[in-house]
Amino acid sequence: MLTKKQNLLETIRGGKPDRIVNQFEYVALMFDPCTLEAMGKVQKGGSWLNGWGVRIEFPENVPGMFPDTSPEHVVIKDIVDWKKYVKAPNTKFSDEAWQACLDQVKDVDRNEVFIAPFVAPGIFEKIHYLMGMEEAMINFYEEPEAMHELIEYLTDYELDVAKEICDHLHPDALFHHDDWGSQLSSFLSPAMFEEFIEPAYKKIYGYYKEHGVELIVHHSDSYGENLIPSMIRMGIDIWQGIMSTNNIKAAIENYGGKISFQGGIDNGKVDREDWTKEKVWAEAKNNIDTNYSGHYFIPATVMGEPGSIYPGVYDAVSEYIAKVNAEKYGIKEEVKSANMMTQG
């Protein structure tokens, strides 16, 4: 039987996987000191200032944190004067600060799974965190020069983080967040995305690839099939979070071999207070029957981590995939509860 790591690589390289990749089973996600500094003190059900000075809210029963960009809290008051308002978080930490993360890395069997730092938020998210979504959209059109300057500054910060991560953890994968669309459309047109966002990620993901990272997994739980050519040029290996509002089957047929896809089970459909195992299994079955043909696809929920808002939903999907693997491929594996993310 192939290891989880081997099976993932066979799947995304068009080789001979011996079973369906079961959601996030192929990675051990790690929080590094730089990312923790930037995110700030995460408080479920509370609010705080992150490392960029952005006020963050994290209500109960929502999939993730989001910024409060009301006028009294917005960081960038005027994009033309962004340098006056924006100061990047610290990226230099002592060996002691890295030790907890290093200890977790030591406990992972690198032959079995990838070591993947969890980096969030991404370039586009940083932009609208700092100024608000409406202002960001307007500024792409009205102040492109200032936006290019800001993106270059944010990219340099991410490159500093990448250096620290690679120097300390020597990861073989990266899991990077940046939501690029709603359920129905991308936030930017492909041309504007190519102009503003793609160059930043070519530098960032290029650096990781040049420093030992084999696998780039990018999270964007959204519509985004119109951005796939950019994703490929950026160096993304797996688009994690592809929603059912995309034509997943066509994406696999058109781009398989250049990029792979993870998702298809929209959390909004299954990750609900009234969820049942039968409903979750029905969605998982439909996703596999519709989209899975052996290569370039990992059936999974679209949330940006191995878990769910309502306990048990993610595990139910994993149980169904394990059931298919046992019945169709004759491979039985223990399904562990969703707790793959470790934090330093």
Cα atoms in the Cβ-side hemisphere of radius 13 Å centred on 323: 11
Cα(49)–Cα(313) distance, rounded to whole angstroms?
A: 31
pLDDT in tens, 296-324: 999 999 999 999 999 999 999 999 999 99
* Domain definitions of the chain by residue range: 4-43+75-343
- pLDDT value, residue 338: 63
Rounded-to-integer distance, Cα 241 and Cα 243, Å: 6
Q: Give the number of other CB atoms < 10 A from CB of residue 137.
A: 16
pLDDT at 161: 98
Name the nearest CA neighbour of 54 among 5, 127, 1. Answer: 127
Structure token pair of residue 164? 């620290």
Fold exhibited by the domain 4-43+75-343 = TIM Barrel (3.20.20)
| Omega before 121 within 30 of 0, i.e. cis | yes
Residue 258: the pLDDT is: 98
DSSP-derived letter for residue 125 is H
- Burial-class residue 32 by CB neighbours within 10 Å (0-12, 13-18, 19+): buried
* pLDDT for 60: 85
pTM to 2 decimals?
A: 0.96
Distance between CA atoms of residues 61 and 40, nearest Å: 20
Each residue of 3-43: pLDDT tens digit? 999 999 999 999 999 999 999 999 999 999 999 999 998 88
